[in-house]
Structure 1
Amino acid sequence: MKTKNIYLCIMGFAVSLLLASCAKNSVSVSTPPLVIGQTISAGTPLSGSVKGTMLSGQTYTMTGNITINQGDTLLMQPGVHLKVGRGLTILVKGVFISLGTKDNPNYIGPDKTFTKTDQVGYPIQSDSAYCGYWTGINCEPTCTLVDIKWTHIDYTGASFPANFFPTGKSAGDTSFGLYFQNINGNFILEDSWMYGCIDDAIRISAGKFEVMRNTFEKCGYTGGDGVNVKSGAVGDMAYNLCVGSATNATKAAMPNSTNVQTNVNMYNNTYINCGYRQSDPTGRGGSLNYESGAKGEAYNNLIVNCRVGLRIHNNPAADVQHMKYGYNYSYGDSLSVCDMFYPVPPTTSVTVPQPTDVPIPTSTIFPDSIYSATYLYQLDASGNAVHMVKPYDGSSFVQKGNPLFVNFPLPEQGITRLSDISAVGNYNFRLQSSSPAAGKGTTDPALIAPIEAVQITNANLKPTITMPGADMGCYQLDGSGNQH
């Protein structure tokens, strides 16, 4: 009996230890915010050389241009509000990191409050989005990393003053919202918002990048793109919502020779009313654009009332022999929009309709029954694209295939021009469960997969890649994709 009691005591002690261990393991231990270098006091006016960590929940004010020197890092913890004075810039020679979160985003923008003028049809000349308040985040070729997550960047595009010359810019030049140019560097923009700018919101002249799940509104005044990448830029643009971009919403080009070819995969993006503040007759501007030797893959994109559909440019020509695209969904309120689902001459586009597109191109609409091989262009003996002038009639597409957003009227109501709606406002561009765009995309990795070019492995800093989704556009019915 004594032996039995001892055994029971031992078993009871073991069970109590197990329960205690389970209880301990069930407790969620929060991870403290990342700290790099010395912390920066919120009461310190920021000007000149700056490095270290801006603390969570604090407000900081720039009273002059700030520079992050080569070898230095500036980190913004979650919930930081960085106020920028008129005409000022953030110059990055080292590393810039903004780690907002969904529940505690960061903000970088004017040191004054602007009322957003997002009413339908508000005149562009009076729109506060195009005030060009500050000169954005400008990175020198020595900048090795820009990592921005869950951050608002607003009202950029001011002209550079005579006393400040970032690389490649002169006094009087308007600024980009963010400029990155290190071909060996890494650029990450995730889950963030960019609102109002005069020129490109993002210009990546070179480098490895991931641009995922962001919202771009009112990018470009009378010109400028949402995301514009140049020679030697390699990466992904996916699950972005682009509303009212002046020219192209997302663009890839290779205007200059480098050892690295511009290679961009654009998938599951949603484009609304883009391309109407750019009047270039060659068709430069609308939704997706590839040109000047760039290549990539474009799938599962939702293009609504944009001036131009997917544009594979021919002068100077994109690398059409190494382009892959299809499963893109287009909707138009009018014939002028539907006639440009596939840009036709004189737009210098060589986009080929794909049988997986929505609406499905047919020989009834396209005069050539083998359009998939010869529509608009063919390759000559040297492999160059040559136009086949065979325009199509888009009248069968008009107001067909409404993607059924949760809250956005199609056809668009109460507007004079499609450019009259250029911001999210109170609209909701998620898909209803009955949307005809649901399940029309592809997840086949043989067709489309992220490039995943960024070489950052640190758990705090690495990008979060969302794989291609079957629902067209940036919002997936299972709740994945864009989280705004």
Structure 2
Amino acid sequence: MKTNQFFTILILFVLTLSGCEKANIDVDTTAVDGSAIGEVSGVWARGSTQVIKGDIIIPEGKTLTIEEGVTVLMDTLAKPEIIVKGNLYSLGTADNPVKFTVGDLYKTTLKKFGKLWGGILAGPTCEELVLDYTIIEYAGSTTSDASTSVKMGLYKAVAGENLPALWFSNAKGKLVVQNSIFRNLQEDCTYIEGGKIIFANNVFYTTGVTGGEAMNFKSGCLADIGYNLVYSTNTNALKLSNTGDKTPQTYIIAYNNTFVNTGWRRPTAKGGSVWLESTVRADLYNNLFANTRFGIKRDPKKPEDSRSAYSNNWYYGFDQTTVNQFQPGSNDVIGGKNDVISTVAGANDPKFVNYPVSTSVNNADFNTSWDFHLQGNSPALGKGITTFTRHHQAGIVMKNGITYTSPAPATYVGAYGTKN
């Protein structure tokens, strides 16, 4: 009798634990920590740590909201993928960002380009995805036949592919990435195949071992790209393409971005700063190119839409080699109206507050004390234009009631004006 009672109590105890774990994964509304594998939805509460022990899936029609200060800790042995078939809102704050990361023990120099977990992979049924004040680091592992993304036919659906930190693929969907940091990644930071899109006020650095772009767009995208800092991507800061069979035609408006040292670690035709191909339509204004490889460059065999516009972009090269290779007309480099560009090394120094412009163009290590604001006597102040229309200046309205608006352009060039 006592034995039967013991087993009854034991079973009830196990069921209770199981129920608590499921609640913690699916509908966590308390500030307690948790762990997850399999299907997830609901809320990961402010300040909690969620340990991801294997691939997780947000089911179609379901939503996962991640509140400020949550740490999403990825198991480096399992190398989890985050599959988004429903909706994902990662809503950090400036003081308490959400962080997708790994344990500090694994953040070594040997692992500075990540590949310790997969990425956030949003399939074609994902209607809305928001990353606000979110840090994504040490992602970009390589797929195998056992990968959930391969089995589900997501991304490129083959083994041997280096995953992007973020993939989005719904041309009818909505994607907002703002105030966020992408760092320590193996290849592409983002790979976007459609949607109404805002990328604003983000920072990208220490990314790309042998390839990889900061923002890689394919067909079906209507995107406003403003106030982003991209430092030393292996390949381009922006790869803009209409490749694919989706509608609408991809139309990118990129303005007031700062690109530094991009493209030098992959010295191929496509390695550079902004790459245009396959009838993409692109309007590029007020962008600052400092010591970048090339500037705006087209694929001569598959050029961009003839309606594309380029104006008021700024070019600086510390040495003559850098200056020579971003001259318009050479190597299919494109010049624009009212661009500030010189044939002389050292001309047009934008006068960053704190960045040594003599830093090697092959340097991929980012110093967080650097400050890419402009000094008060910078010649790049007052050289921007504000007369163009953005796609989403009226805002993108999400199901959770939040409206995201692409920021207005500035009269200065680059992502940062003077410090307040």
TM-score class, shorter: 0.7 to 0.9
Structure 1: unaligned runs, 5 residues or longer: 1-35, 118-125, 361-393, 480-484
Between Structure 1 and Structure 2, how many residues are aligned? Answer: 387
Q: Where in structure 2 are the equivalents of 1:72-151 lying within 5 Å?
A: 72-86=62-76, 87-115=79-107, 117=109, 126=110, 128-151=111-134
TM-score (ref. length: structure 2): 0.87
Letter in 1 for 2:383: K
Distance in 2, Cα, partners of 1:182 & 1:254: 15
Q: What is the aligned counterpart of 1:317 among 303, 307, 321?
A: 303
Distance in 2, Cα, partners of 1:303 & 1:477: 17
Letter in 2 for 1:468: P
Residue 22 of structure 2 is matched in structure 1 by none
Quick check: 1:243–1:424 contact (8 Å CA) kept in 2? no
Distance in 1, Cα, partners of 2:194 & 2:295: 25
Distance in 2, Cα, partners of 1:432 & 1:41: 43
Q: What is the aligned counterpart of 2:384 among 417, 435, 441?
A: 441
Deviations 1:346-372 (CA, angstroms, capped at 9, x unpaired): x3x261x33511136xxxxxxxxxxxx
CA drift of 1:459 comes to 7.4
Residue 172 of structure 1 is matched in structure 2 by 160
Q: Percent identity?
A: 30
Quick check: 2:206–2:364 contact (8 Å CA) kept in 1? no
Q: What is the aligned counterpart of 2:274 among 272, 276, 288?
A: 288
Structure 2: unaligned runs, 5 residues or longer: 1-25
Distance in 2, Cα, partners of 1:97 & 1:186: 11
CA separation of 1:141 and 1:457: change in aligned 2, threshold 3 A:
closer
Distance in 2, Cα, partners of 1:458 & 1:341: 44
Name the SS for the 1:45 alignment partner: strand
CA drift of 1:113 comes to 3.9
Residue 336 of structure 2 is matched in structure 1 by 354
Letter in 1 for 2:123: E
CA separation of 1:252 and 1:400: change in aligned 2, threshold 3 A:
same
Residue 334 of structure 1 is matched in structure 2 by 319
CA separation of 1:43 and 1:420: change in aligned 2, threshold 3 A:
closer
TM-score (ref. length: structure 1): 0.76
CA drift of 1:342 comes to 3.3
Quick check: 1:177–1:201 contact (8 Å CA) kept in 2? yes
Structure 1 or 2: larger strand share? Answer: 2
CA separation of 1:340 and 1:216: change in aligned 2, threshold 3 A:
same
Distance in 2, Cα, partners of 1:183 & 1:473: 29
Distance in 2, Cα, partners of 1:359 & 1:135: 40
CA drift of 1:450 comes to 1.8
Name the SS for the 2:404 alignment partner: coil
CA separation of 1:43 and 1:468: change in aligned 2, threshold 3 A:
closer
Quick check: 2:54–2:80 contact (8 Å CA) kept in 1? yes
Residue 405 of structure 1 is matched in structure 2 by 352
CA separation of 1:401 and 1:472: change in aligned 2, threshold 3 A:
same
Distance in 2, Cα, partners of 1:196 & 1:421: 10
Quick check: 2:31–2:46 contact (8 Å CA) kept in 1? no
Q: What is the aligned counterpart of 2:208 among 217, 220, 223?
A: 220
Q: Where in structure 2 are the equivalents of 1:5-404 lying within 5 Å?
A: 39=29, 42-86=32-76, 87-115=79-107, 117=109, 126=110, 128-166=111-149, 167=154, 168-280=156-268, 282=269, 284-319=270-305, 321-342=306-327, 344-345=329-330, 347=331, 349=332, 351=334, 353-359=335-341, 394=343, 397-404=344-351
Name the SS for the 2:146 alignment partner: coil
Moved segments of 4+, more than 6 Å: none
Quick check: 1:245–1:422 contact (8 Å CA) kept in 2? no
Letter in 2 for 1:59: T
Deviations 1:82-114 (CA, angstroms, capped at 9, x unpaired): 101121111100001100011211111113444
Name the SS for the 2:362 alignment partner: helix
Name the SS for the 1:419 alignment partner: coil
Residue 378 of structure 1 is matched in structure 2 by none
Name the SS for the 1:420 alignment partner: coil
Quick check: 2:126–2:170 contact (8 Å CA) kept in 1? yes
CA drift of 1:462 comes to 2.5
Distance in 2, Cα, partners of 1:112 & 1:135: 18
Distance in 2, Cα, partners of 1:455 & 1:418: 37
Please tell me whether Structure 1 or Structure 2 has the larger radius of gyration of its CA atoms: 1
CA separation of 1:254 and 1:156: change in aligned 2, threshold 3 A:
same
Name the SS for the 1:307 alignment partner: coil
Distance in 2, Cα, partners of 1:64 & 1:257: 33
CA separation of 1:70 and 1:459: change in aligned 2, threshold 3 A:
closer
Distance in 2, Cα, partners of 1:463 & 1:219: 27
Distance in 1, Cα, partners of 2:108 & 2:377: 33
